[in-house]
Amino acid sequence: MATADSNTDLRNGYTIMSVREALIRQEDTIIFSLIERAKFPINSPTYDKSYASSFDSLVEFIVKNTESIQAKAGRYKNPEENPFFPEYLPSSAAPNYPFPQILHPEAALININKSIWKMYLEELLPKFVAPGDDGNYAQTAACDLSLLQAISRRIHYGKFVAEVKFRESPQEYEPLIRAQDREGLMNLLTFERVEEMVKKRVEKKASVFGQEVGPVHDENQGKYKVDPSVVSLLYEKWVIPLTKLVQVEYLLRRLG
């Protein structure tokens, strides 16, 4: 029999270590998706509700309908995935797969995608895309969807972070949960040194992945496809705080 240390499979494959690795890997996906979205200018008709009478807005049309297809193919059976428009989803037509179910049922349903959607469109997007219009609105919205999904997965992964931390030392969390002490929980989950390290790492990744690779051209030295400081800001202002928000909300429901 395996020893019950924090790296064994007692949590159906989720451990402090595996959760940490998943978060790091998801940074790459977010940065690749930022770079791919930045290939296109802002393309504002994509977001304009009056652009075409057949759509709410083109981005909503693409996101709702693509989510719907992916739902039918089983995407949201994996508890790591959270849809932006859950009210429109058909059920899965795919056979069940035994995804590990480690989340506490009361708390598993947390979905803050409405806030992520608003933050993305109103705050993040204008910070990293160029002005302009090249007519590629469907492609732009498809890039928005991939990026939104990557950011959402990262932030909602807070549920798994919270669950493995809780199982690691329930005695630390239970009194705060019983007292419904948000601030106490937030303090317990905050490690400024780690947050600084994450911000530095994503900035470095953005400069590595967003560089021009090829024979040295002077004019491209130090030019990045997405400003690395925007990626650091995305983590500082939204990804880290919203992940902690998800963790706190999850823990508040953990004994329910």
Nearer to a second copy, 55 or 166 (CB): 55
Produce one character per residue of 68-101: b if its CB has 16 or more CB atoms within 10 Å, e if not: eebbeebbbbebbbbbbbeeebeebeeeeeeeee
Please give the Cα distance from 11 to 104 (Å, whole number). Answer: 12
Q: Say which residue the tokens 């690779």 belong to.
A: 213
Q: 213 to 242, contacts with a second copy by CB under 8 A?
A: 213-214, 225
Q: Which stretch binds a second copy (CB under 8 A): 122-130, 134-142, 175-183, 239-247?
A: 134-142
Among 128, 137, 157, 160, binds a second copy (CB under 8 A): 137
Which residue, 139 or 182, has its beta carbon nearer to a second copy?
Answer: 139
Smallest distance, a second copy to C-beta of residue 221, A: 15
Instruction: Using the rule CB under 8 A, give the single segment among 2-10, 158-166, 173-181, 200-208 that binds a second copy.
Output: 200-208
CA distances from 230 to 27, 205, 210, 226 (A): 13, 12, 12, 7
Q: Least distance to a second copy from the beta carbon of 73, Å?
A: 4
Cβ nearer to a second copy, comparing 7 with 78 = 78
The interface region with a second copy, picked from 95-103, 112-120, 230-238, 246-254 by CB under 8 A, is 95-103
Provide the binding-site residues for a second copy, judged by CB under 8 A.
Answer: 24-25, 28-29, 32, 35-36, 39, 51-52, 54-55, 58, 61-62, 65-66, 69-75, 77-78, 81, 93-95, 97-99, 135-139, 141-142, 146, 201, 204-205, 208-209, 211, 213-214, 225
